[in-house]
Amino acid sequence: MANVFSRRRFLAVTAATLGATLAACAGGGQATPTPAPQPSPTPAPAATPTPVAATTPTPAAAPTPTAVAAQAPALTPIPGREVVVWQTVDYLPETTALIKQRLEEIAQKNGFTISFEEIPNNPQGYNRFNAAVQAGTPPDIYRLYDYQTQFWRAQGQTTDVTDLVAPFIQQKGGVWQPVELTCTFKGRWYASPLAVNAWPFHTRQDLLDQAGFKYPANWDELRQQGKALTKPPLYYYGMTLGRINDTNNHTLGMVWTFGGKLQNEDGSLAVTADDKAWLDCLALIQTMYVEDQIIPPGSVNWNDGDNNQGYQSEQLVLTSNPTSIYNWLLKNKPELAQKTRFYSYPAGPAGSFGQVDVWTEGLFKNGKGGDNARILLVALMDPVWYENYINEQLKGRFIPCWKDMIEHDLWQKNELYSEYQKIISTGRIMAYAAPPLGAFGELATKFVIGDMMQDLCVRRLSPREALANFVKAAQEIWSKPENRA
């Protein structure tokens, strides 16, 4: 991942700041959580102005089991009451600038103001946010990533926004499954959908073309191509194998193709010590790294940015990552960007699956904006504005949360994104097949998958031994009652 401080490392920081609500990455005993302060009610306004609709959504279709009856709530703007909005910095400035513009327009229309701030996407920025939560003074609206949505829900800090989301959620074909898994708990919505962040394989199409290859349809073809094209310092497959976040993504995305998964639909641990899908996947990883040598030897020590740098410096044929790699190329190496194409995972015995994570907007209970904040949150889901924001303005930075919006020419007629329909239609979040609750968050931030890769590729344990160590550690995490909420 391109960010110096990956968003998926967020819980490691919040663990330290909030008194180790989740165990820190170094492992060890489970620390006693420090409860966040209980939210206090927002003071009622002195006068009750005439309600103003934030937006008029198109009538929704019949709701899914996780939706309530679609009826827009009556929201009453509070004149002069400020809404505080914090968003972390994105590498594409328009991502946040356009949201700011939208919220300022809605606030002005409804007679109130906003304080909008971009905070650093690094430990300092997260520490500042965590301190605000601890002090009972969080922003009203804060951008959340992946399992942060469930983390703050479990802390009792975010508001149930089902009434705000329900009028929109079945529009435009409904939302993708990863969106629902990320945002909901027991049928209720605890954040509004913002964007789907895809993890395509960035691929040097020019090198494949020169060798007469097509993108590998399966792992056997990947190995064959890898052995033909790897000529150090050029390596074929930039798979991250260190104790770091991208190792979680790269490993789980590959496991799915063998029919394995981390969680069952009820949130219980799915993997066992004799799980054939996992064992076959681990055997292939070890073979590619040790025998085929098509994965860079240094990948066992990589951080989240090293596969980005490897591709950008033309030392990798392909690697999986959000489009931060590609957008860097557009600005710094446009000729390499022209040679790059996006693809989904090569198929295994169970098929091929796309990998995504989901960004949301959380409404915090201790915020002081009242209905003003809710009006702004609704405005970000207006389908006309949202489709223009994602497809016309950001142009491929994200996949839209609503299914029918991918029928846009950007996704259907642009050769670069020709595989995106496949990626999102089969897309899964890392926590699949359940929401990313506490157990997943602890496993991810403790880098237990990374430990397994170290056993496999550094210590050269057998796949069965490496998996047994992993399952033992995972079972300890899943056995904690606090990790099931």
Q: How far apart are CA 354 and CA 350, in angstroms?
A: 13
User: In this prediction, what percent of the chain has a pLDDT beyond 70?
Assistant: 85
Q: What average pLDDT does this structure show over 295-313?
A: 96
Residue 35 binned pLDDT confidence (cut-offs 50, 70, 90): very low
Q: Which of 99-108, 116-125, 460-469, 472-481 has the lowest mean pLDDT?
A: 116-125
Residue 446, both tokens: 């403790």
Which residues lie across from 141 on neighbouring strands? 85, 363
- At 325, the amino acid letter reads I
Domain positions in the chain are 8-23+62-196+358-418, 201-353+437-484
pLDDT score, position 1: 52
- At 341, the amino acid letter reads R
Q: What average pLDDT does this structure show over 48-62?
A: 38
Q: What is the pLDDT of residues 392-403, one digit of tens each?
A: 999 999 999 999
Pairing of strands 192-198, 235-237: unpaired
Residue 247, both tokens: 């190792």
- At 405, the amino acid letter reads M
Mean pLDDT estimate for the chain? 88
pLDDT score, position 68: 39
Contacts of 426 (CB under 8 A, 6+ apart): 344, 351, 352, 353, 354
On whether the CB atoms of residues 318 and 224 are closer than 8 A, the answer is no
Q: What is the pLDDT of residues 66-104, one digit of tens each?
A: 433 356 688 999 999 999 999 999 988 999 999 999 999
- Domains 8-23+62-196+358-418 and 201-353+437-484 agree in fold: yes
Q: What is the pLDDT of residues 101-119, one digit of tens each?
A: 999 999 999 999 999 999 9
- Largest Cα–Cα separation, the chain: 74
Which residue, among 372, 427, 434, 364, has the nearest Cα to 398 in the 3D structure? 427
CATH architecture classification, 8-23+62-196+358-418 = 3-Layer(aba) Sandwich (3.40)
pLDDT score, position 445: 86
Contacts of 108 (CB under 8 A, 6+ apart): none
CATH entry, 201-353+437-484, from 3.40.190.10, 3.30.70.1380, 3.40.50.620, 1.10.940.10: 3.40.190.10
User: In this prediction, what percent of the chain has a pLDDT beyond 90?
Assistant: 78
On whether the CB atoms of residues 77 and 372 are closer than 8 A, the answer is yes
Question: 3-class secondary structure for 228-241?
Answer: HHCECCEEEECCCC
On whether the CB atoms of residues 321 and 308 are closer than 8 A, the answer is yes
Q: What average pLDDT does this structure show over 205-219?
A: 99
- For residue 131, give Cα distances in angstroms to 39, 135, 250, 368: 15, 6, 32, 17
Residue 42 binned pLDDT confidence (cut-offs 50, 70, 90): very low
Q: First and final CA of the chain: distance in angstroms?
A: 28
Which residue, among 358, 338, 230, has the nearest Cα to 294 in the 3D structure? 230
- At 162, the amino acid letter reads T
Q: What is the pLDDT of residues 342-352, one digit of tens each?
A: 999 999 999 99
Residue 36 has pLDDT above 90, yes or no: no
